[in-house]
Amino acid sequence: MIFTETKLKGAFIVDVECRRDDRGFFGRAFCQREFEELGLEANVAQTNVGVSVKRGTLRGMHFQYPPAIEAKLVRYMHGAILDVIVDLRPESSTFLEHVAVELSSENQRALYIPGRFAHGYQTLQDGTAILYQASTFYAPGAEGGLRYDDPRLSIAWPLPVAAVSGKDSNFDLLEALEGELTARMSPARSEPVGVLS
């Protein structure tokens, strides 16, 4: 596997090192040892699948507050997405900055998202499916979110939004949320309860 760190420290693009022949290719999509060698969370508590019927569907920007923070490893299964992550670590020099990475059957990429990051994506094709591994069990009481269209985030979604949930449309703007976010995401409160995404 090939790990390329993004501008957000600890967040990595993960490429499959493919062995190709006339049948196609073979490569590792996950290796616990390689993740651990980089200091990344490597245990999996849950594996989730998301299917979106329409191109332009938007999901996010989701996260879990401490102590239920989760790391994620997100990968396409079919189709393509623009995957976006936002750094929610108040002590980070990239606090509230984001990175966008296309994940598709063409590039075979995955995105490793550390704990204390928000995550969302937009589908680039009809009938897109993703799979992601999470380090922590889903904890409804720890759930949080950022508005995907918050002007302070300045996320350039590539397509008009074809579908988005009412919940995702109604998250508070950073203007109202930043104080709570900063307090609850501080390093002192952020000891993980599980490992990997």
Q: What is the DSSP string of 4-26?
A: EE-SSTT-EEEE---EEETTEEE
pTM: 0.89
3-state secondary structure of 182: helix
Cβ distance 111 to 82 under 8 Å?
Answer: no
* pLDDT tens, residue by residue, 148-173: 999 999 999 999 999 999 999 999 99
**Low-confidence residues of the chain: pLDDT under 70:** 25, 27, 189-197
In-domain check, residue 19: yes
* pLDDT for 23: 80
In-domain check, residue 194: no
* pLDDT for 187: 84
Report, as residue numbers or ranges, the catalytic residues: 62, 132
In-domain check, residue 145: yes
How are strands ordered across the β-sheet holding 72-78?
A: 2-5, 12-15, 109-113, 72-78, 128-134, 46-52
In-domain check, residue 170: yes
> For the chain, what is the domain count?
1
In-domain check, residue 196: no
Residue 47 maps to which CATH number? 2.60.120.10
In-domain check, residue 143: yes
- Structure tokens that stand for 191 in this block: 């000891």
| Dist CA 109 CA 116 (whole Å) | 22
Residues spanned by the domain of 13: 2-189
DSSP-assigned letters across all residues of 56-109: TBEEEEEEE-TTS---EEEEEEESEEEEEEEE--TTSTTTT-EEEEEEETTT-E
| Dist CA 21 CA 53 (whole Å) | 33
In-domain check, residue 163: yes
* pLDDT for 20: 77
In-domain check, residue 197: no
